[in-house]
Structures are given as structure tokens and as C-alpha cells.
């Protein structure tokens, strides 16, 4: 699914007051609150019927790791929420290939279906957005 | 141009709020508009009127209040992030208001550019 969908689609977005929001998730799921609060913004943006895309890179790829267990640390395990995104029509999830590889992960280790892109491809994806918010 | 600003870090610990303030002042001086400043994550702490830095240091919270008064800027603090951190109406500095995350998304929609200051 490419965000570069031509002039006609761009005009339609302008008429409907829809912008392309890209949320860049770069931090580990626990240790700081960025990932959890980023997810709250993502859910609100869906309520505003915006064109929402998520990218996970650096330690952010760990947010999607299967089998998170937080009980012993007293932190809330919010990872099931990523699986609920589909229900909010948020289906464009991209993960950076290099970030996965550096951490010994593959797409099979993740709890939702994603598209794996190279750093360069993610750069091109960012170019196509109206709003880029990095957490 | 109409700018929206998002601040994701608290005062003093981090320079994000200072940089955003300098950016806002420079943009206004060039004749641009600031549609809204939205405070999220620890950024909500910028709204705490109980903040009292040493005399020889800048007062980050007061700077925002003054700039907002001079230029009619909307300073919005995220309610969920604020409540988590004990930021409530009774300790809000002048010109700040508490509202929902929807105000951030709306800023993205209405402004020509959304500029993010954070880690």
C-alpha cells in the first residue's frame, strides 16, 4: 500500500479535511512512557478519520514483540492494543529492516502483521506524509 | 504560515520547551502565526505555576504565559498526561488550559506545519 497515490486522491483528502499522519515509534515499550502515550495519540487520530501510518524503528521495533510479560515489573502490558488497531482501520504498519536485524528479530517475532522496509524506503514514506510525529 | 507546536519534554531537565519558545518567538517576529502549542508526555509540567527556578535562571512557564498573553496563543495541556503527573486546573499557570488529545490531532489538521520538540 503506497501513500503516494496521485493527485486525485490528494484532492479528495483535501476536500474531506484528511491529512496523512505518520507516527514514528523509536523507543522501547517499557523504561519510558513514550510508547504507551504514543499509542494513545494514534487511537485518537483514528477517531478523527485521518490517514494514519505507523513506523517502528530503533528500539521501537520491540514494542511489537510477541510474548511480552510485565507482571514481575509492575508495568502495564499494553501490547495487546497493537492487535486492536485493525479495528480502528489502522492497517499501515511498517517496521525498519535494519532495526529488526540489529536486534536479532524477524517479522515472525512480531504480534501483528507488518510490512518490513529498508531505511531508504522509510525515508521515502516519510516524504509522502503531511504530519510526522516522532515518539 | 500557520504553525502548530508539540512539546514532549518538561522544563529544565530538557531543552525542548526552550527551543520551542525560541522557535515560536522567531516565527511570530517573521509574521507567522502560532495556531496552538500542545504539551504532551512530561511536557505537561511546563504548565505548572508552582515552578520556581533560581533568580538568575529563566522561568520557562512564565515565558510561555507571557508569550501567550502578548500574541493570543492557545496553550493546551493533554488531560490524560496531565492527570498522570498531578497537573490540574488549580496549579495551571496563566493562559494554559487542559483539554484532550483531539486538540493535538486538530492542530495537525488545521496548521500548515506541525513542529515537534522532544527527545
- For chain A, the domains span 19-134
- Residue in B with minimal Cα distance to A24: B116
CATH number at residue B85: 3.40.1260.10
Strands of the sheet with B113-117, listed across from one edge: B96-99, B75-78, B33-39, B2-7, B113-117
> Nearest C-alpha of chain A: how many angstroms from B64?
22
Whether residue A50 and residue B105 make contact (CB cut-off 8 A), yes or no, is: yes
C-beta separation of A21 from A50 below 8 A: yes
Taking the Cβ of residue A40 and every Cβ of chain B, the question of whether any pair is shorter than 8 Å is answered with: yes
* Contact yes or no for A37 and B40 at CB 8 A: yes
Is the pLDDT at A134 greater than 90? The verdict is yes
State pLDDT tens for residues A67-118: 999 999 999 999 999 999 999 999 999 999 999 999 999 999 999 999 999 9
Say yes or no: B40 contacts chain A, CB-CB below 8 A: yes
Closest-CA residue of chain A to B114: A131
When comparing pLDDT for B30 and A1, which is higher? B30
How far out from the chain centre does Cα B57 lie? 19
Per-residue pLDDT tens digits for A46-67:
899 999 999 999 999 999 999 9
Q: What is the mean pLDDT of chain B?
A: 97
pLDDT beyond 80 at A3: no
Whether pLDDT at A15 is above 90: no
How many domains does chain B contain in total? 1
What pLDDT, on a 0 to 100 scale, did the predictor assign at position A4?
66
Catalytic residue from among B5, B78, B87, B114: B78
Residue A38 scores a pLDDT above 90: yes
Which domain, by its residues, includes B50? 2-117
Residues 58-87 of B with CB under 8 A from A: 80-81
Q: Which residues pair with A56 in a beta bridge?
A: A25, A95
Q: What is the CATH number of domain A19-134?
A: 3.40.1260.10
Q: Which of B79, B94, B12 is nearest to B39 (CA)?
A: B79
Grid cell for residue A42: 494514534
Is pLDDT above 60 for A31?
Answer: yes
Amino acid at each position: 500500500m503506497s501513500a503516494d497515490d496521485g493527485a486525485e486522491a490528494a484532492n479528495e483528502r483535501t476536500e474531506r479535511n484528511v491529512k496523512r499522519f505518520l507516527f514514528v515509534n523509536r523507543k522501547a515499550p517499557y523504561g519510558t512512557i513514550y510508547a504507551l502515550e504514543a499509542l494513545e495519540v494514534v487511537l485518537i487520530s483514528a477517531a478523527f478519520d485521518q490517514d494514519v501510518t505507523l513506523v517502528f524503528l530503533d528500539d521501537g521495533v520491540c514494542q511489537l514483540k510477541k510474548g511480552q510479560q510485565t507482571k514481575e515489573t509492575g508495568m502495564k502490558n499494553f501490547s495487546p492494543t497493537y492487535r486492536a488497531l485493525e479495528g480502528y482501520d489502522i492497517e499501515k504498519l511498517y517496521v525498519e529492516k535494519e532495526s529488526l536485524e540489529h536486534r536479532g528479530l524477524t517479522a515472525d517475532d512480531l504480534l501483528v502483521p507488518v510490512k518490513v522496509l529498508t531505511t531508504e524506503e522509510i525515508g521515502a514514506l516519510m516524504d509522502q506524509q503531511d504530519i510526522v510525529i516522532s515518539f | 504560515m500557520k504553525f502548530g507546536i508539540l512539546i514532549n519534554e518538561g522544563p529544565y531537565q530538557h531543552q525542548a520547551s526552550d527551543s520551542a519558545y525560541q522557535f515560536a518567538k522567531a516565527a511570530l517576529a517573521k509574521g507567522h502565526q502560532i495556531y496552538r502549542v500542545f504539551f504532551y508526555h512530561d511536557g505537561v509540567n511546563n504548565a505548572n505555576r508552582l515552578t520556581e527556578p533560581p533568580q538568575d535562571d529563566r522561568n520557562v512557564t512564565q515565558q510561555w504565559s507571557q508569550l501567550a498573553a502578548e500574541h493570543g496563543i492557545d496553550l493546551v495541556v493533554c488531560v490524560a498526561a496531565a492527570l498522570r503527573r498531578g497537573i490540574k486546573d488549580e496549579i495551571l499557570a496563566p493562559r494554559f488550559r487542559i483539554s484532550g488529545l483531539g486538540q493535538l490531532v486538530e492542530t495537525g489538521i488545521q496548521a500548515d506545519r506541525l513542529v515537534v520538540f522532544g527527545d
